[in-house]
């Protein structure tokens, strides 16, 4: 497939898999989405959407990964019993980051029942909010009952995915925390960028978004979300995104998938990996793979756990969610999976 106006990367020469998919061995631990961050206590913290284990099986929870990559274990940190509702009718995780020892979780669908802008078949990703907690206490603030309206209403910034820079955000570019968002959970079309001073992550008044570009290519920031412009548009090809910064390569890596049919777990998905010198681009093509993992398995929400990257950032593991197909149970029904990769630079 051709991606118009997106040239091949001049920094990353190639991407290849090393080995096959490894499904999480404990079949009873299920869930999806898994936005993740490398916290100051050396664990990987994440949130699972509609987890099928523990006290609450819909909505979302808080989990953490220890060990790894090929022997990691998943544990429950908090059941989040108030965060209930299946699929688009309940809160779902979109981003997580650890900054100065505090965990922040972005989730979408606070208002429930939102419509997807591009297809009624797709799962919505709108009405996002951010909560926070110290990972040693697991008390998330504000409480779900106290949230009366979303920080980011609508779909423009409906699924914020924090850009992770390293353990406890140690390689951050400046005093801001950055996030990217598509406009739909699956098969969206536009990517937008927001930022906030790290001391004010849960405060909407401090968030600003790219609204234009100066002649020299630097972004113009504005607090009005309605003025936010896409920094990348690929029609129906930008699902819930993942972006990480690879310090040794000085590049931002963007991952997303395109489902062959809207919100259909039975027809496969395509993997898209782009890189850029800045969170807002310009983006170049690293890897495109049609029917990633084949026809009998529909992976989605690819993640790069920075803890599992090599020191030179040339190899690591992609963690991703497995399909929820009724015929795909033998292939790893609805649970975490990993696969090792290597990249070659010029």
Report the distance separating Cα 44 and Cα 38, nearest Å.
5
Report the distance separating Cα 133 and Cα 149, nearest Å.
20
- Flag whether the pTM goes above 0.75: yes
Report the distance separating Cα 160 and Cα 215, nearest Å.
27
Which residue is it, tokens 């890189």? Answer: 275
Q: What is the DSSP letter of 172?
A: -
Report the distance separating Cα 289 and Cα 183, nearest Å.
22
| pLDDT given at position 330 | 60
DSSP 190-243: EEEEEEEEGGGTT-GGG-EEEEEE-TTSPEEEES-GGG---SEEEEEEE-S-EE
Helix (H) / strand (E) element for 177: namely strand 176-181
Q: How far is CA 76 from CA 30, 31, 144, in A?
A: 12, 12, 19
Which residue is it, tokens 């949230």? Answer: 147
293 burial level (CB within 10 Å; 0-12, 13-18, 19+): buried
Residues facing residue 276 across a β-bridge: 252
pLDDT tens-digit series, residues 192-220: 999 999 999 999 999 999 999 999 999 99
Backbone angles phi, psi at 264, to 5 degrees: -120, 115
pLDDT tens-digit series, residues 223-266: 999 999 999 999 999 999 999 999 999 999 999 999 999 999 98
Is the predicted pLDDT of residue 2 greater than 70, yes or no? no
pLDDT tens-digit series, residues 287-335: 999 999 998 889 999 999 999 999 999 999 999 998 888 665 566 789 9
| pLDDT given at position 1 | 62
- In the predicted model, what is the mean pLDDT of residues 271-276? 98
User: What band does 137 get if pLDDT is binned at 50, 70 and 90?
Assistant: confident
| pLDDT given at position 323 | 87
| pLDDT given at position 23 | 93
pLDDT tens-digit series, residues 16-64: 999 999 999 998 999 999 999 999 999 999 999 999 999 989 999 999 9
104 burial level (CB within 10 Å; 0-12, 13-18, 19+): buried
Q: Which two tokens stand for residue 211?
A: 């609204």
């Amino acid at each position: 497939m051709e991606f118009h106006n997106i040239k091949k990367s001049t920094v990353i020469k190639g991407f290849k898999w090393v080995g096959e998919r490894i499904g999480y061995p404990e079949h009873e631990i299920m869930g999806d989405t898994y936005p993740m961050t490398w916290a100051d206590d050396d664990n990987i913290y994440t949130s699972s959407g509609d987890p099928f284990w523990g006290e609450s099986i819909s909505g979302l929870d808080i989990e953490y990964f220890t060990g790894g990559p090929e022997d990691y274990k998943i544990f429950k940190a908090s059941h989040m019993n108030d965060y209930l509702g299946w699929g688009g009718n309940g809160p779902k995780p979109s981003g997580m980051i650890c900054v100065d020892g505090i965990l922040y979780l972005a989730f979408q669908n606070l208002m429930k029942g939102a419509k997807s802008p591009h297809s009624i078949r797709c799962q919505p990703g709108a009405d996002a909010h951010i909560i926070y907690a110290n990972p040693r206490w697991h008390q998330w603030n504000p409480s779900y009952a106290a949230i009366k309206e979303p920080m980011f209403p609508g779909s423009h910034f409906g699924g914020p995915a924090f850009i992770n820079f390293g353990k406890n955000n140690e390689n951050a570019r400046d005093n801001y925390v950055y996030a990217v968002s598509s406009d739909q959970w699956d098969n969206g079309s536009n990517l937008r960028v927001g930022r906030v001073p790290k001391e004010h992550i849960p405060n909407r008044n401090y968030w600003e978004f790219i609204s234009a570009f100066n002649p020299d290519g630097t972004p113009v920031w504005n607090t009005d979300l309605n003025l936010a412009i896409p920094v990348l548009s690929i029609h129906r090809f930008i699902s819930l995104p993942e972006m990480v910064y690879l310090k040794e390569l000085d590049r931002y890596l963007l991952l997303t998938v395109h489902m062959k049919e809207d919100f259909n777990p039975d027809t496969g998905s395509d993997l898209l990996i782009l890189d850029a010198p800045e969170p807002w681009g310009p983006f170049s093509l690293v890897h495109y793979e049609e029917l990633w993992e084949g026809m009998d398995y529909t992976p989605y929400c690819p993640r790069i756990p920075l803890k599992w990257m090599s020191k030179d950032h040339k190899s690591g593991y992609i963690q991703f969610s497995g399909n929820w197909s009724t015929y795909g149970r033998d292939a790893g029904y609805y649970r975490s999976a990993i696969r090792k990769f290597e990249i070659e630079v010029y």
